[in-house]
Chain A
Amino acid sequence: TQLLEQSPQFLSIQEGENLTVYCNSSSVFSSLQWYRQEPGEGPVLLVTVVTGGEVKKLKRLTFQFGDARKDSSLHITAAQPGDTGLYLCAGEFSSASKIIFGSGTRLSIRP
């Protein structure tokens, strides 16, 4: 059974601070996505990473894919209240051709 462990589960920080969310697995991903979800809505895709060691930036968000393609991180610089939400990593394992979600990180940014 492929599992994705995401940490931390909850994070509450002050506006302007930096934070990092981690996503780990014992299996190799063929691709990994990060999503953000608002209450009562479906997840919205932020980024897809495919190549080991890949780094992608989306404004204040930096996404990194581990060299071995077993882990990923999301770093937010100078967090803003608008960043509040549920952040989900999701991995596709080449052996299964299905996409499994991590447990999620609920982020709260205090003004």
Chain B
Amino acid sequence: GAVVSQHPSRVICKSGTSVKIECRSLDFQATTMFWYRQFPKQSLMLMATSNEGSKATYEQGVEKDKFLINHASLTLSTLTVTSAHPEDSSFYICSARVMGAAGELFFGEGSRLTVL
């Protein structure tokens, strides 16, 4: 199957700092990537849809100025959590859709963010 790599897998930062998470499709081009957030023992909540070469589409309730998404190339999307606070601590997961494959998503390994 298609491979999606996410980095870093774990990050700890101080409150008020910004953290960047990278999502790369290693063996395919992804015009669309999705960013999800997952709290402990809960399901995945879609945060935003990242479109190559255009602005991301954010879900209702997600602050676009706090969660900056950049999809600069067909293989890379980044999520920057700006001015992080402890309540931003979560598991962030990116996924990419293989072009032509109906609905299938391939996921990165996830990034666990802990804000102190």
Contacts and interface: CB of A to CB of B under 8 A. Distances in A.
Interface string A80-97: 000000001010100000
A20 B58 CA distance: 34
B46 A31 contact: no
Interface stretch (A38-46, A56-64, A71-79): A38-46
A101 B110 contact: no
Interface in B76-116: 91, 93, 95, 101-110, 112
Given A101-B46, A104-B42, A32 B103 contact: yes
A11 interface: no
B49 interface: yes
The residue among A33, A101, A106 with the most chain B CB atoms within 10 A of its own CB is A101
Q: Is the interface of A mostly helix, strand, loop or mixed?
A: strand
Contacts of B105: 33, 45, 90, 99
Interface residues of B, number: 28
B46 A48 contact: no
B67 interface: no
B103 A48 contact: yes
Given A40-B112, A42-B109, A98 B49 contact: yes
B35 to A, nearest CB: 11
A42 B110 contact: yes
8 contacts: A31-B103, A33-B103, A40-B91, A42-B107, A48-B101, A98-B49, A99-B103, A101-B43
